[in-house]
Amino acid sequence: MPSSFDRIVVLDFEATCQPGTPPSPQEIIEFPSVIVSLRDRAVEDTFSTFVRPLHHPTLSAFCTELTTIRQQDVDAAPPFLDVLAAHQAWLAGHGLLDAGGPERFAFVTCGDWDLQTMLPVQCAAAGLPVTALPRVYRRWINIKKVFLDSMKKAKTTGMPAMLQALDLELVGTHHRGIDDCHNIARIALALAERGAKFAITGKLAASHYPELPLELQWGDRVERAFLKKRHLASLLGLASGLFHTRMVRAFLADGPEITDDDPLAELAPDARIRLVSARDRPAT
């Protein structure tokens, strides 16, 4: 994947909330995005829609006060799965989403919550496996980390503090998703002017992926197994216990070696993995 992207898509969800513990399941009620060209230093397009919550359809007074999103806004909105499909179509219309093709952009969020926590929770509530999401929704750039890398003396990374440090005023209403997206886009452009690089800083934790049925092959032996955590170390440990010998390398069925956790996130159920033990001849 690219070490730095020319185009980014800023994303900032708003979700059902209440004083104290959020509703369970918490649901997205605003799904906004802004496409930013870092090369041209410009906003290219905006996507913004409310989302109708299905499990807890009535917004709390606290939620409306915080976000300015009203009950009638969400009552008239489409449900999450329709909005997600529209969002993907919007990205594809800009040439950014090509199934099986290279990733042409990365999402930028203010913190890790949007894509590390909220999107998986929402997908589970809607009955959508996270593995059905295009991979780009499972990786992101945390603007706070880009900010800290560029502004060495900065001590706080809240959105208002980052704007202030960059001599920018907050525009619109904080905690209204589309306004936050535009403010984060302005931060990104200001950091780009300072030479900041925009590379992936986070990816979906293995704990969010479902258990994976696999065929493990060592020599002529093939055994069925279930990988609970999509970590390479977990895979090698599982295979070592299954074959009663220490496994040190793993390969996809079509040949490439698995050298980190990323390929495991994309594996289809019942994929075959070839194993090499510590006492085997070096694999080629």
Active site residues: 14, 175
Contact between residue 216 and residue 273 where contact means Cβ atoms under 8 Å apart: yes
d(CA 25, CA 17): 10
Residue 44, helix vs strand vs coil? strand
Contact between residue 191 and residue 214 where contact means Cβ atoms under 8 Å apart: no
Contact between residue 243 and residue 220 where contact means Cβ atoms under 8 Å apart: no
Determine the straight-line distance between the first and last CA of the chain, rounded to whole angstroms: 25
Identify the residue whose tokens are 């905006």.
Answer: 46
With left for phi above 0 and alpha for psi between -120 and 50, is residue 73 left, alpha or beta? alpha
